[in-house]
Amino acid sequence: MIAHVEIPCHMWGNTGESPATQRRNRCDRFAQNFTDRCNSASAKIEMTPKNVILPCIKTPKEDRSLSYTDTTAYAARPEPKASIPFDGGDILDLVLTSLDDNKAEDILTIDLRGKSAMADHMVICTGRSSRQVSAIASKLLDRLKESFRLSARTEGKDIGDWVLIDTGDVVVHIFRPEVREFYQLEKMWQESGQSPAG
């Protein structure tokens, strides 16, 4: 069914009002006529005349989404989830679980509490290839977002030689074996109480 929105000639006539008032009144009348037609049962809208451009008129879809009287959709919206309380220990547990599940090798945790202001914990691990390093990082980022709604800062994920993930409380380094051997990052923190995870 096609509903034609007819615009009577008297709507466009000169009534002695200012041009701005005429435009506003035309828009109001046209909008009311248009809305009445749109509310008819499942009508497709085809406006006539087609050369009329009224920028102040919203489409029926916009009218419905911006309606202040449609409280049903507003009441049916999902409630925002409450924030999940977590600390550095919770993040560390999730990081170690994710790395272990995704077959990271030589996982090493370094406790930085009281030794550095950059984080509470550092985790260093190895992936067998650039592809695995990137996959381990992606899975970890997904879990952080899913569990804690935490978007961590990352570096090097596209290359896959050395990926750094900074969650704030926990910093994670994921290396390829040759890159880890070259930088020997854990030796810089030998006095910081490093311990193998697991």
Same domain, 110 and 190: yes
Residue 115 has a pLDDT of 84
Both 98 and 156 in one domain: the answer is yes
Specify the CATH number for the domain of residue 109.
Answer: 3.30.460.10
Domain boundary among 75, 103, 129: 75
Residue 84 binned pLDDT confidence (cut-offs 50, 70, 90): low
Residue 74 vs residue 152, higher pLDDT: 152
Query: Where in the sequence is the domain holding 41, given as residue range(s)?
Result: 2-75
Residue 80 in any domain: the answer is no
As a whole number, the mean pLDDT across the chain is: 74
pLDDT tens for 153-166 read 999 988 999 999 99
Residues 156 and 126 both lie in one domain = yes
Is there a domain that residue 112 lies in? Answer: yes
Residues 64 and 108 in one domain: no
Q: Which of 47, 75, 103 is the last residue of a domain?
A: 75
Higher-pLDDT residue of 34, 186 = 186
Same domain, 97 and 184: yes
Q: Has residue 167 been placed in a domain?
A: yes
**pLDDT bracket for residue 83 (50, 70, 90):** low
- Using CA atoms, how far residue 114 sits from 118, 188, 196, in Å, is 10, 16, 20
Same-domain check for residues 136 and 166: yes
Residue 111, both tokens = 């406790």
Residues 112 and 185 reside in one and the same domain: yes
**61 and 98 part of one domain:** no
Let me know whether 22 and 110 are in one domain: no
* Residue percentage of the chain with pLDDT more than 90: 35
Report the number of distinct structural domains present in the chain: 2
Q: Is the pLDDT of residue 186 over 50?
A: yes
Better-predicted residue by pLDDT, 16 or 178: 178
